[in-house]
Amino acid sequence: MPTIITESIIEEKGLKILNELGYTLLYGPDISEGGKHEERKYPEVILAGRLRQALERINPKIPKEGIIEAIRKVQRSESQNLLNNNQQFHNFLVNGVEVEYKKDGKIKGDKVWLIDFEKVKNNEFLAVNQFTIVENNHNRRPDILIFINGLPLALFELKNPADQDATMSNAFKQVETYKVEIPSLFRYNEIIVLSDGLETHAGTLTSGVERFTAWKTIDGEKPKKAMIELEILISGMFKKETLLDFIKNFIVFQKEKDNKTHTIKLSKKMAAYHQFNATNHALASTIQAIKKDKRAGVVWHTQGSGKSLTMVFYAGKIILAYPFSCLGFL
């Protein structure tokens, strides 16, 4: 008899790939209320103990009070607007958390980093399935959550391909329900992945279902034909080094005019696979050119490929690589 692909099989497949990439697998009920390794209460979306351990490891020169202040800032929402809170957290994530503490009788300002972007192994990567969250009397259980240093940065919503109603659109609607019923989770979200076993697409907090896209390369190369989209996206996008690069350099917030309401709307955008690869290839070529003949080459764009955003990503990375010297070259 042919194997019937179910949602649980897709979940197991996703977890297996993540485990092969070096993620530690945890079962949600084991680290929740009543679990054998209880680490959090159901309303809590951060693994606070792991976060604190990570911050102490990544920021060894910051005293205890500075670490505590950083955690408080990460946990505190400044606005009633989910997207504004998400933008604030993204800024903490990529630029560090400003803190103050006493040293030698004086108040000292400093920065606490939530992720060590330079030393990948200095971070903790977890893939947690069936993580129950209870908020405002709503009980929800996302299929897979990706935690980096105790922070829930990515969500996988999976659907059963054998169910004719389990479409990508319905997976998207499920995530939209999560945003309303368990909004605290999305303060920290960077990437949302939808999969029905056949198609697997990624997007952001503000992406419409049509803006979720597949990832089509692994380390910039075309994958084997036998690989399914879920395997390609996880292997290509969630490799630890790639994921940290993506979070730091390939997610932006933009203000755009809504043609229907004639108002300015904030949106969160992330690179598609071709923008990610083009930017990193262009960066490598530019660095080589700076060292040799000053000829970096040309990036070819097709219409509708998102060239403006690609150039934003490129400019950001080249400035980080050469904050002063590159300006004369460019």
pLDDT on residue 236:
97
Q: How confident is the model at residue 324 (pLDDT cuts 50, 70, 90)?
A: low
Query: Is the confidence at residue 3, as pLDDT, over 60?
Result: no
Selected residue with higher pLDDT from 18 and 312? 18
Helix (H) / strand (E) element for 263: namely: strand 263-270
**325 and 212, same domain (yes or no):** no
**118 and 219 assigned to the same domain:** yes
Last residue of a domain, one of 226, 242, 270: 270
The answer to whether residues 108 and 200 touch, using CB atoms and an 8 Å cutoff, is no
At residue 295, the pLDDT reads 60
Provide the pLDDT for residue 329: 46
238 and 317 in a single domain? The answer is: no
288 shares its domain with 198: no
CATH number, position 213: 3.90.1570.50
pLDDT for the residue numbered 323? 61
Least confident of 21-35, 162-176, 245-259: 162-176
pLDDT for res 318? 84
Could you tell me if 210 and 307 lie in one domain?
Answer: no
At residue 105, the 3 state secondary structure works out as coil
Q: Which one of 270, 299, 317 terminates a domain? A: 270
Q: Return mean pLDDT, the chain.
A: 90
Q: Is pLDDT above 80 for 167?
A: yes
Between CA 253 and CA 243 the distance in angstroms is 18
Segment 181-186 shows an average pLDDT of 98
116 lies in the same domain as 244? yes
Q: Are residues 6 and 111 in the same domain?
A: yes
How many independent structural domains does the chain possess? 2
Q: What is the pLDDT of residues 63-107, one digit of tens each?
A: 999 999 999 999 998 889 999 999 999 999 999 999 999 888 899
- Domain that includes residue 309, residue range: 272-329
Is pLDDT at 326 greater than 90 in this prediction? Answer: no
Task: Pick the last residue of a domain from 270, 286, 315.
Answer: 270
Residue 108 has pLDDT above 60, yes or no: yes
Helices (H), the chain: 7-20, 48-58, 64-75, 82-95, 168-181, 183-186, 229-237, 240-249, 273-291, 307-321, 325-329
Average pLDDT in the 160-184 region?
A: 90
Q: Could you tell me if 30 and 97 lie in one domain?
A: yes
The 10 Å Cβ neighbour count of residue 114 is 26
pLDDT for the residue numbered 301: 53
pTM: 0.91
pLDDT at 316: 85
The per-residue pLDDT for 5 is 64
Same domain, 176 and 293: no
- Which tens digits make up the pLDDT trace of 115-160? 999 999 999 999 999 999 999 999 999 999 999 999 999 999 998 8
Q: How many angstroms separate the Cα of 191 from the Cα of each of 67, 201, 238, 250, 255?
A: 26, 10, 10, 11, 19
Q: Are residues 67 and 213 in the same domain?
A: yes
Q: What are the pLDDT digits (tens) for 4-58?
A: 567 888 999 999 999 999 999 999 999 999 999 999 999 999 999 999 999 999 9
Q: What percent of the chain has pLDDT over 70?
A: 91
Domain identity same for 37 and 69:
yes
In eight-state DSSP terms, residue 33 is T
Q: Could you tell me if 171 and 227 lie in one domain?
A: yes
